[in-house]
Structure 1
């Protein structure tokens, strides 16, 4: 009886192992960046970002022009200008340089925030489509091709499937 139980346990274990091995694990890969590049929403977002950056550069350019004018005024004071006038001009120049540096730092933060605000919904839409395709295809993982060290021929490229799901040719 004990031998029969042991034999049954061994057969059950072998059967379970065989069924686990028989399951095919399916993996996929995608170049998410390439997908975002071909999404129609990206063009609108890129235009919005370009306009935003142009506004920032216009303000920055005005500040640079003002600084150049202050330098020119300082140089035109000449040697006969009083020490008070020269020091006042130097202080104006230093203050403006500080404002420019502060603006540069603030502008960088604003650009990063705007970039996230504009492109994040597009990336989320792409990721959602990838998730839906992965579920439809029975994939257990989908890797971004830009972060994969090795890619087997058995991995499924889901980019064409996701593009089709999003209606992109």
Structure 2
């Protein structure tokens, strides 16, 4: 008797789970692909490259100043007193440390600038994903590319699940190249 109740509950649970799964619709989006199709992608890239050049030029100028001081030190080291030589070596070491700190700061600033420039576009993409998911009755939408790694590892019918082009169309953008996710 107890066994029949367990079997009945198991069958009911299996039926209920199967019914719930039948109502779910899964999709995925390649945000990198969508972003690459957006008109603002080129201006974001250009602005980011200009900022990177600005940071690089500043560091290169500091490095040239360091090299100039190093050359002067190497030429005059033999005629310097030991105290003067030690002071100049410390100054050069401090300058070299400062260059390393400037390089790290530049990298951090570049990443911050990239995030700042991308955020409005990513917000626009998210809004379009939300709209497409509601319009097409998707219950779950995954990102195909998070930190360069796919989150969606398997999908039976990729053409039906990839909504990247639908997201672009929702934003008023006609895809101009083959979807790099392999569909649509």
Match of 1:44 in 2: 43
Q: Secondary structure at the match of 1:142?
A: strand
- Residue 88 (structure 1) shift: 2.4
Q: Report deviation, 1:38.
A: 1.1
What residue ranges of structure 2 are gaps of 5+ in the alignment?
Answer: 1-11, 145-149, 175-184
Alpha-carbon offset, residue 63 of structure 1: 0.9
Contact 1:67 1:97 in 2 (8 A): yes
The answer for unaligned runs of 5 or more in structure 1 is 1-12
Aligned-partner SS, 2:78: coil
TM-score of the aligned structures, taking structure 1 as reference length = 0.82
Q: CA deviation at 1:55?
A: 0.6
Larger radius of gyration: 1
Q: Where does structure 1 differ by over 6 angstroms across 4 or more consecutive aligned residues?
A: none
Shift of 1:84: 2.6
- TM-score normalised to structure 2 length: 0.76
Per the alignment, residue 58 of structure 1 pairs with 57
Query: Pairwise mapping of residues 108-127 of structure 1 onto structure 2 (< 5 A)?
Result: 108-127=107-126
Count of residue correspondences: 155
Structure with a larger share of its residues in helix: 1
Q: 1:76 to 1:121 in 2, by over 3 A?
A: same
Residue 125 of structure 1: how far off its partner (Å): 0.7
Matches within 5 A, 1:4-153: 20=19, 23-145=22-144, 146-153=150-157
